[in-house]
């Protein structure tokens, strides 16, 4: 069993570039192509939010067209750059648990784990917050499964030493972390949002932010100036060991840098 966790794909409309610079749609299409052709096949792809950059219809159309090339089930959640209604309208057909959903909150039993997918977004805000209904639902699901549990959400529930991103993490993450003390079979909380791979632990529970497929954000503990960098895009791949432990690693993609016109032709 191998699950790829992609994050922060930030699709733009077809023919456009992120910040008029980065050809994210081409990068993301190439990443799906690479995942489709790994020597060890991928059994499922999770995307942990910010699937589009602005939540517009053309961006979701581009995202759906490219994600639809994946040769395995997709499990999607939204991020602060998404708009929930448009996310559900355009992407639910690609994610079976979302087909009849009015919100982003669902459970999948996979890889000998119960996977919980939850919405941590607040409309029109970059920071995250979990509703009481979501917290209650997570607690209920934890009480209803004997399998180890992994939670997928966009905003990390605690600080990860990023002066830029920590102020806009999940503002009431402590309420989710309280469940770590209550339920010993909660194994990990896997997020996006930070555009870089970080790992920490809370009460023995792994708290992980996945790298982005679009642009990477450097982790500076003191410099909060928003900035990004062109590191090689990557994802996390979660695997199952013979003795039923989840083993995760960072998988780097070849960087497709887009097609450029020769300078004598003109244009980008």
Q: Tell me the window of 3-11, 131-139, 182-190, 215-223 that interacts with Fe ion (CB under 5 A).
A: 3-11
CB burial class (10 A; 0-12, 13-18, 19+) of residue 18? Answer: middle
Which lies closer to Fe ion via its Cβ, residue 11 or residue 246?
Answer: 11
Which listed residue (3, 5, 6, 8) binds Fe ion by CB under 5 A?
8
Which lies closer to Fe ion via its Cβ, residue 67 or residue 149?
Answer: 67
Residue 85: CB minimum distance to Fe ion, A: 19
Q: Pick out residues in 36-65 that bind Fe ion (CB under 5 A).
A: 50
Q: Tell me the window of 5-13, 26-34, 82-90, 246-254 that interacts with Fe ion (CB under 5 A).
A: 5-13
Which lies closer to Fe ion via its Cβ, residue 83 or residue 113?
Answer: 83
Decide: is 82 part of the binding site for Fe ion (CB under 5 A): no
Residue 245: CB minimum distance to Fe ion, A: 29
Which lies closer to Fe ion via its Cβ, residue 88 or residue 217?
Answer: 217
- The footprint of Fe ion (CB under 5 A) covers 8, 50
């Amino acid at each position: 069993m191998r699950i790829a966790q992609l994050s922060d794909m930030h699709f733009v409309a077809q023919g456009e570039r992120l910040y008029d610079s980065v050809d994210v749609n081409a990068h993301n299409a190439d990443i799906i192509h690479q995942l489709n052709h790994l020597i060890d096949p991928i059994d499922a792809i999770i995307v942990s939010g910010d699937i589009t950059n602005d939540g517009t219809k053309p961006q979701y159309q581009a995202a759906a067209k490219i994600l639809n090339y994946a040769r395995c089930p997709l499990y999607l959640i939204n991020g602060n750059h998404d708009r929930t209604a448009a996310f559900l309208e355009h992407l639910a057909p690609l994610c079976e648990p979302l087909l009849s959903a009015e919100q982003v909150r669902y459970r999948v039993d996979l890889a000998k784990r119960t996977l919980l997918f939850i919405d941590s977004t607040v409309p029109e805000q970059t920071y995250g917050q979990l509703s009481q209904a979501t917290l209650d639902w997570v607690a209920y699901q934890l009480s209803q499964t004997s399998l180890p549990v992994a939670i997928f959400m966009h905003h990390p529930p605690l600080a990860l030493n990023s002066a830029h991103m920590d102020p806009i993490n999940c503002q009431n993450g402590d309420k989710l972390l309280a469940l770590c003390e209550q339920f010993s079979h909660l194994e990990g909380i896997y997020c996006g949002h930070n555009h870089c791979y970080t790992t920490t632990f809370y009460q023995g529970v792994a708290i992980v932010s996945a790298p982005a497929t679009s642009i990477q954000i450097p982790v500076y503990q003191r410099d909060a100036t928003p900035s990004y960098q062109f590191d090689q895009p990557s994802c996390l791949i979660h695997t199952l060991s013979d003795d039923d432990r989840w083993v995760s690693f960072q998988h780097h993609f070849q960087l497709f840098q887009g097609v450029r016109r020769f300078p004598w032709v003109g244009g980008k």
